[in-house]
Structure 1
């Protein structure tokens, strides 16, 4: 796992100092590699995150999120860069996803076909949008919305999942070198470079 790359991508997250964060991420990644086990998730949660991420970035003409082992990156980053309440909200989201799958189809998410998985993801996305809208109304002081102040600025599960998936994928070797244009040793910095039709965005 190329965890050192993540340090630049996670500086905006709730975390330790930059150097301490790098050491902590590297230690957790090394632990995961040595044991073959997740550092935060259970084995079932880890497998579910891999399947969820693969719906967000499926394999097309380039490998998807599961091939890039995005679940491993999410496991480490969530453990070391997020506060306990955020970690719990993510794990509660995984539990809710399984409940939605069972209620809708009588199966776990990983047992669903691709169309069914997409439908569950659409429901998660809709729930996240509704939650954000409700929080915005609460912040605006609308009297019909009763949300404790501590819960008025939280990131919904689906939003966390999507953000972490995109971060994990595009900082992975597969994402940076196959989904994006990659130059191992770049030359001068050009702030605005026109792209040709169909050209991939540049990895940074």
Structure 2
């Protein structure tokens, strides 16, 4: 699976209204621009580092490489810049600032300076806040609802990781050209789920 295929899959999951080939070209051009400049498209350098560390809390390196190794922060930067409206981009950037506020209040350090246990505590706090926000929005009309920062971060992290080459080939079982279709196959204990 190459980067273009991975970006196309993520774009399809985002639900954009552009045609997929046009969007894939846009995403590929953005990925190339980021690679050439060495700079994020939407994030500052500090925000990019912070997103990389936050995604690693969600999908850490274990027996398989984690989100940082898969460069999920780069995918999130490109997808947010090219596929999300400015209002949602701002919500995400405000969420990063809020994360540092929580870190400063609890430990007098920014998120990237925290140790692993402290990072988990801050991420758990963000998850709790997101659940409360969703409860509070349940009675609001649809046009006033939004996706909380943590939920957006988690969704983009999972989509970015499992559509990356590392996620699809090392965290999942992957067959480039599958054989016949079998609708229901029992997994053996400890077997990885299949990539699709």
TM-score normalised according to structure 1 size: 0.91
- Deviation of 1:28 after TM superposition, in Å, equals 0.2
- What is the rounded CA distance, in whole Å, between the counterparts of 1:14 and 1:175 in structure 2? 21
Correspondence list, 1:1-16, <5 A? 2-15=3-16, 16=18
2:144 is the counterpart of 1:151: yes
- The equivalent residue for 1:142 is none
TM-score normalised according to structure 2 size: 0.94
- The equivalent residue for 1:196 is 188
Q: Equivalent residue of 1:133, what SS? A: helix
2:41 is the counterpart of 1:43: no
Q: Do the aligned partners of 1:14 and 1:83 also contact (CA within 8 Å) in 2? A: no
- Deviation of 1:188 after TM superposition, in Å, equals 2.2
2:171 is the counterpart of 1:169: no
Q: What 5-or-longer segments of structure 2 have no aligned partner?
A: none
CA pair 14-79 structure 1, distance change in 2 beyond 3 A: farther
Count residues in correspondence: 194
Q: Which moved more, 1:130-139 or 1:82-91?
A: 130-139
- Deviation of 1:11 after TM superposition, in Å, equals 1.8
Q: Do the aligned partners of 1:14 and 1:82 also contact (CA within 8 Å) in 2? A: no
- Deviation of 1:20 after TM superposition, in Å, equals 1.5
Of the three residues 31, 34, 39, the one matched with 1:32 is: 34
- The equivalent residue for 2:172 is 180
- Deviation of 1:80 after TM superposition, in Å, equals 1.0
Greater relative contact order (Cα < 8 A, sep 6+)? 2
Of the three residues 64, 67, 80, the one matched with 1:65 is: 67
Stretches (4+) displaced over 3 A: none
Q: Do the aligned partners of 1:3 and 1:29 also contact (CA within 8 Å) in 2? A: no
Q: What 5-or-longer segments of structure 1 have no aligned partner?
A: 140-148
- The equivalent residue for 1:145 is none
